[in-house]
A and B are shown apart, each in its own frame.
Chain A
Amino acid sequence: MDLSDGPEYATFRAELRAFLEAHGEEAPGRRGEIASVGSGALRAWQEKLIAHGYAARTIPKEYGGAGAEPDPLIATILSEEFGRAHVSRGVGGQGLDMLVPTLLEHGTEAQKRRYIPPTVRGEMIWCQGYSEPGAGSDLAALQTQGRVEGDEIVINGQKIWTSTAQYAQMMFALVRTEPDAPKHEGISYVLVPMETPGIDVRPLKTMTGHAEFNEVFFDDVRVPLANIVGRRGEGWKIANTTLRHERNMLGSAATSESLYEGALEVMREERVDDGRAIDDPVLRDRLMRLGAETLAMKCHAMRLLTARLRGETSGVAGLVSKLNGCQLNHDLAGLAIDAMGEAGALYRGSDRARDGGRWQFQYMFQLGLIIGGGTAQIQKNIIAERGLGMPREPKAVKAAAESAGKG
């Protein structure tokens, strides 16, 4: 056990900190703000970050990245220091986090050269076309059809839960190109320009009152066969390599720590009946309970990072972060709301709402994340089956075999 950085990492951290102090002001709004996606300011900031090796760090130079070796500790230091300084990490989103790793692993040279550099620069925004109304947890049941005609695929169907589709120039999508193949073997991974005729993007307003997602409809949308990544029918395998990246993104300990700090601030400042919320023993007990869980998740992230640095597999320990982290975040938002009493119900539109209704938004949005990116129940199946070696439900196995038999 040694939690110090070690000399070369300490130097990296010190240089990064100095850079953020000197240049942090130039950064646009925080990462993740959809409005800033693709803006000129963001692109300029991204260029500066890449030049210093602070963004697109492990993407090869020939595709516009910084060309460094992957190093989980460097990645963690970057995440910690940008978070600490509240500075944008540059271009983010599913293009950089999910599509680029996929192309690097499975794409042709032409695909890599065409799509990775503009994505890295923030000029090409991507959305993910996976879920469908009839294919959520059972994603491989997807029915969006990709009929092959000559050197084109003709796409018909519907995708849902597509964030950033309204801004995106491109979508990476899963479509069924081999209707007669077994369920998991009939899917292809296709890159679809969003300006192609026949695509209709409709905002999907959620319970938060905002349209964080979209529905995307396809009506005879024609894209070249060359836009398939990997081979026809291999899309399921290819998508699975990147779904893992998404699960690591959701439920990160840094988010929980930041929500805990926020809830603590609320409890120190909110006064009801002449006392602060933090002086209420019941609320304080809840805060300490969630504080212990937050600390446990922080330690757990360090343990998983170490396992990667050591080149060890983390087993069942590596499967629980999304389930725990998302639930913890939801509980933290719920505590902050309760600490505010009646004022906790105020939302956007009220000038009395604390932080513009942030906590009610978080309470709803974090619940969405318990469901999205693999529901809590699917996570539990994964933990039980892959982590503990328990068998699949025989009925599910049988039904899968039957539907595969039918095609």
Chain B
Amino acid sequence: MDFGLSEDQELLDQTVRRFLEERLPIARVREVVESGDGIDRGAWQALAELGVAGALVPETFGGAGLALLDAAVVATALGHGAAPLPFVGSAVLATLLLRDVADGELQTRWLPALAGGGARMGVAAAERVEARQDAGVVEDADGLSGTALFVLDGQGADAYWVLCGDDAHFVRAGAPGLGVKPLPTIDRTRWLVELDLRDVVPDASFRGVGAAIDRVLDAGRVVLAADILGSCDRALSLSVDYALARKQFGRPIATFQAVKHMCAEMAAAIEPARSLVWYAAHAWDALPAEAALTATLCKAHLSEVGHDVMRTATQVHGGIGFTDACDLQFWFKREGLSRQLLGGPGRLRAHAAALQGLG
């Protein structure tokens, strides 16, 4: 019985955190998101050299061949840094679709490029999660047509996965009939796009792979939950630091119980949530019977914890927490996007009930 991170995982966590502290401090994050397309390409390339971009790529394709728990450790560190990097979409969802759904040729062509940091991929998964009346992609004899919304890491991507029902289509950027449009959200550290498809012919299509797609989406949920966890850690530490520094009524506000209790409530919510993230990632790796349910409950729970923590942290910061100059807003908004992606908490809880045959 050993429930916790291994020494290698602790080291991975420290490595990514140290890298982000040096290379992507929040002042640099601010620069990146206020210019260009919101991705620090140089930092992503350097992280690729550390094995982060290819964490889930098998070693035979030049990756690190790590488990989802390792990816969750990375995601927590990236959330802690509010890093403007294409991890959840490109390095997790797209990579797992290539690894677990695609076949040899596509893998040989793309997995090494993803691991090396030279290629990035967007994933259009929203329609598999919840269909909207104003979007959707259909396939006919001429190819794929329609609109795919909320495409993760789609900005400047080299290729896209378009998930349609039980089928997964691989579409190269620049394919005839494919239009890509930015989809601004509150979170400027990760960009979504909208794909407009008119008779787009995919490079490859994999049909009847609904179960494999669902398993990949569960991995995405765990990693998003891990990202929220990292955001929560940062929001709490910023709050404690601020409370110790800020003086009112002649003393640090950290001495007031009203403020201390808000910080204690955040810590009390975060720590069991961390245990749940680790468990859900491990279940995805090693406990197949529990993987879907724990991933679903984990993402739902972290979304609730995340909202409570972000609201409380902003209140600890008082008026300054409401300003653009206050860095806390980056985590508030990052959590705000993560919460909605791949199923908000209410939808996920309904899904969790269905998975257990309840209602």
| A and B associate | yes
- A residues with a Cβ closer than 8 A to B are 1-6, 9, 73, 76, 264, 268, 278-281, 284-285, 287-289, 291-293, 295-297, 299-300, 302-303, 305-307, 309-310, 316-317, 319-320, 323-324, 377, 379-381, 383-385, 387-394
Residues from 270 to 285 in B contacting A, C-beta threshold 8 Å: 271-276, 278-279, 282, 285
Query: A380: which B residues are within 8 A, CB to CB?
Result: 257, 260-261, 264-265, 268
A182 to B352, CA, bound (A): 56
Cross-chain contact of B278 among A1, A280, A393 (Cβ < 8 A)? A1
Give the interface size class of chain B.
35 or more
- Report the minimal beta-carbon distance from B63 to chain A, rounded to whole angstroms: 20
Once the chains bind, are B272 and A320 in contact (CB under 8 Å)?
yes
Q: 7 closest pairs, A vs B, by CB?
A: A288-B349, A384-B260, A380-B264, A299-B275, A383-B264, A302-B3, A292-B301
Query: B2: which A residues are within 8 A, CB to CB?
Result: 1-3, 306, 309-310
- Report the minimal beta-carbon distance from B262 to chain A, rounded to whole angstroms: 9
Once the chains bind, are B264 and A388 in contact (CB under 8 Å)?
yes
Once the chains bind, are B272 and A394 in contact (CB under 8 Å)?
no
Query: A394: which B residues are within 8 A, CB to CB?
Result: 251, 255
A4 to B1, CA, bound (A): 5
Query: B353: which A residues are within 8 A, CB to CB?
Result: 278, 284, 287-288
Report whether over half of chain B's contact residues are helix, strand or loop; otherwise say mixed: helix
Once the chains bind, are A320 and B1 in contact (CB under 8 Å)?
no
Known: A288-B353, A299-B278, A309-B1. A1 touches B271 (CB 8 A): no
Query: B304: which A residues are within 8 A, CB to CB?
Result: 289
- Report the minimal beta-carbon distance from B217 to chain A, rounded to whole angstroms: 18
Most chain-B CB neighbours within 10 Å: which of A264, A280, A394? A394
Q: A3-B2, A381-B257 are in contact. List 9 more A-B contacts (CB 8 A).
A: A1-B5, A280-B359, A284-B349, A288-B300, A293-B272, A299-B276, A317-B274, A381-B264, A388-B260
Known: A285-B350, A296-B301, A381-B264. A389 touches B240 (CB 8 A): yes
A309 to B4, CA, bound (A): 11
Report whether over half of chain A's contact residues are helix, strand or loop; otherwise say mixed: helix
A385 to B282, CA, bound (A): 32
28 A-B residue pairs with CB within 8 Å: A1-B4, A1-B286, A3-B1, A73-B1, A285-B346, A288-B300, A288-B353, A291-B352, A292-B300, A295-B279, A295-B301, A296-B272, A296-B273, A297-B272, A299-B278, A307-B4, A316-B267, A317-B271, A317-B274, A320-B271, A320-B272, A324-B268, A381-B257, A381-B264, A383-B264, A385-B260, A388-B240, A391-B252
